[in-house]
Amino acid sequence: MPTWAELKDYARATYTLDDDGEDDFSLIFEFQTGRTQKIAITRFDAFDKDWIELRSYVCKGSQLDKEVALRKNEDFAIGALALDDEGDYCLVYSIPLDTMDPSEFEIPLHALAHVADELEAHYAASDEF
């Protein structure tokens, strides 16, 4: 049962953080192909509990048909495509913090980075993270 501070300490010890705020941080995965993928981790409250959200940019809303995006959601083991406030697609996944163990952070973190990068490579015009 980690706290937000413990999760951030773990992330700092394991990864190089790109951003490091009070309620969020991000890191960038670099792949052998030379591509990169940024994952933002944000703490939020829901159902009287602390949660974390993993979020990674995929492409602009105009680059992926909404019906195709909804159909792709059915194939993901974790996470789902969502439109952010700017109308861009992101891959998102939420985890309750109080019951999370290290694998419940690591597996989704790596899975989202890989899936978001594959989607971005296929649908986006460039590697924007």
Closest by alpha carbon to 79, among 96, 67, 91? 91
DSSP 101: -
Both tokens of 129, joined, read: 């993270």
**Cβ(67)–Cβ(47) below 8 Å:** no
What does the alpha-carbon distance between residue 45 and residue 52 come to, in Å, rounded to a whole number?
9
Q: Is the pLDDT of residue 125 over 90?
A: no
Domains and CATH numbers, the chain: 4-123 (3.30.1460.10)
For 59-99, the pLDDT digits (tens) are 999 999 999 999 999 999 999 999 999 999 999 999 999 88
Q: In terms of pLDDT, which residue wins out, 126 or 54?
A: 54
Find all residues with CB under 8 Å of 40, minimum gap 6, and list them: 19, 24, 25, 26, 53, 54, 55, 56
